[in-house]
Chain A
Amino acid sequence: MKVKILFLSLVFLLSGCNKSSPPEPVSRTDFALGTFVSARVHGENAESALDEVFARLFEIEQLASAKNPDSELFYVNQNAYEREVTVSEELFYLLETGLFYSSLTDGAFDITLGSIVELWGIGTENVAVPDAEELAEALENSGFRYLVLNENELSVRFWKEGLRIDLGALAKGYAADEMKRILLENGVTNAILDLGGDIITISDNDGKGWRIGIADPRNLGEICAIVRVSDKAVVTSGDYERFFVQDGVDYHHIFDSATGFPADSGIISVTVIAESAMLADALSTAFFVMGVERAIEFARTMPEIGYILIDRDMNIYNSENIEIEIIR
C-alpha cells in the first residue's frame, strides 16, 4: 500500500514533465520591401519552403518598387503617358487589383498618388512640406480615373503626364498573400508571417488561434488590444509609422487624394482583418483616410472583414465579428 502511495506521489509530481514536445518551428528573418520580414513555420518542408518564399519576396520587390530604376513599375511610370506600355501578367494583376480597390473606395485608397508621395519625400533625405503650387500641380495630375488598363493587350496608359503609380500600400499585402500561397503549396500546416507589422497566419495554431497584439499608436512599445485569429491577415496602418515634424507639426505618410496632404480624418490607427493581406492592406489605408463614420459605413458592405479603428482620443471602435481584448 505504501509503495503504491509513493509510486502515485511520484507519478503525480512528475506528470508535468511527461509532455511530448511538438516539432520545433523553423524561423527566418530577412530585409525586403523596405522592412524586416520574418516567418515562423511548422511542417516537414519548412526549410525548403522558406527558401522559395524569400526568393519570391525579392522578385516582388523587383517588380513593384516605384523607386528602383530597374523595376518594371519604374519603367511604366516613366513611359506610360507617351505610349501604351505592355507589362507582365503579374504587374498587370497588381495594377488591376489596385485600380479596383481605388474605385471601390472612391479614391480613399488610390494607387496613383506617386507624384504626391514623391513630392513630400517621406522616407527620403529630402522630406519636407512641399511648395503649395507644386502640390496643386501634383494633385491635378493624380487620380485613378487617369489610369487606363487594357486587359487584352496587358498594357497600361496614363491620361495625365505627371501621373505616377505607387504600390506601397498594396505590395506588402500582395507579397504576404504570395508567401502564404507558396507555404501552403509546400505542405506547411502552421505558420505566422510578419512583414514589418503586416501579419498573415496559416491555420488555427493547433486550435489555439494566433494572438496578435495591436500596437498602441500613442505609446510605442505597448499594445492596446489583442485579437485572436485563424488563417487570417491582420494589417495595421497608423500615423506613427513614418512621419516627420516641421515647425512643430507632425506629418505622416498616408495621403488624402482629395487634399494631397496627410489624411486628417481623426483616425490615428486602423487595423483590418481579412482573408487576403492585399485587401487588408488597401482597406487599412482607405479607412484611415475615410474617418470613423465613413469607414464603419463602408465596412458594413463587406461583412467578412474585421476592423479596429482608433481615433485621436484613443476611442476604439471594432467590428463585432472579431475576437478582441482591449487593454487599458
Chain B
Amino acid sequence: MKLSGKKNIVCYCIIAVIFAASLVVWYFIYNAEIENPVAKIYKNGVLIEIINISDYDLRFSFTVGTPETGINEIKVKNGEIWVGGITDCLVQTCVKTGHIGSNGRTIPIICVPNRLEIRIVGGENIHELDAVAR
C-alpha cells in the first residue's frame, strides 16, 4: 500500500509526537525529584535492606558484605546515598556513580564484583505491604 505525500507527513508527525511523548515520560520517570526517597539494597539479587535515607541528617555509614565476598562501605546523609569505598576493586564503578536520592539522581549504584545494587524508590506504599503485624 502506498501513501500520498500528505499522508506521509501526517504519519511522520504522529510518530514524532509519540517519540517526543515517550521522551518526556522517560525524563519524568528517571529524573524527577523524589520526596522522602527510600533506598533498596540488593545483594546477589536479593533485597536485603530498605533505608529511609531522608531520615538521616547526619552522615550514617554501614558496610555490606564480608571479607570473602568483598565489602562495600555505604554512606547516607540528607536523602542521598552513595558508596564510599570498596575493598579489593580497581575499577570502583560503584564509588564513581556518586550520590543518588533526593538530588534527583535515581540511577542504580551497581557493584558487579560484590553483586551489590542500590536502587532509589519513592511514592506512596513504598514497601508495597499487604498488612502490618503489630
Number of interface residues of B (CB under 8 A): 26
Q: Give chain B nearest CB distance to A113 CB in angstroms.
A: 22
> What does DSSP make chain B's interface, helix, strand, loop or mixed?
mixed
B129 touches A2 (CB 8 A): no
B49 touches A2 (CB 8 A): no
A contact residues around B66 at 8 Å (CB): none
B129 touches A213 (CB 8 A): yes
Binding site for A on B (CB under 8 A): 1, 3, 8, 11-12, 14-15, 18-19, 21-22, 47-52, 62, 127-134
Binding site for B on A (CB under 8 A): 2-3, 5-6, 9-10, 13, 40, 192, 194, 197-199, 201, 205, 210-215, 223, 226, 234-236, 238, 241, 271, 325-328
Q: Which of A9, A198, A212, A327 contacts B52 (CB 8 A)?
A: A327
A212 touches B129 (CB 8 A): yes
Q: Which of B22, B48, B133 has the most CB of A within 10 A?
A: B133
A212 touches B133 (CB 8 A): yes
B132 touches A215 (CB 8 A): yes
Q: Which of B19, B22, B131 has the most CB of A within 10 A?
A: B131
B contact residues around A234 at 8 Å (CB): 131, 133
Q: Which of B18, B52, B133 contacts A214 (CB 8 A)?
A: B133
Docked Cα-Cα span, A198 to B12, in Å, equals 59
A211 touches B130 (CB 8 A): yes
Docked Cα-Cα span, A235 to B132, in Å, equals 10
B15 touches A215 (CB 8 A): no
B48 touches A325 (CB 8 A): yes
Q: Which of B3, B18, B127 contacts A9 (CB 8 A)?
A: B18
* Identity of the chain B residue whose Cβ is nearest the Cβ of A196 in the assembled complex: B134
Docked Cα-Cα span, A198 to B132, in Å, equals 8
- Using A201-B130, A211-B129 as known contacts, list a sample of 7 further A-B pairs with CB atoms less than 8 Å apart, ordered by residue number in A: A2-B3, A13-B18, A197-B134, A212-B132, A327-B49, A327-B127, A328-B50
B11 touches A3 (CB 8 A): yes
Could you pull out 13 A-B pairs where Cβ atoms are within 8 angstroms? A2-B12, A2-B15, A3-B3, A6-B14, A13-B18, A210-B130, A212-B133, A215-B133, A226-B50, A226-B129, A326-B49, A327-B51, A328-B51
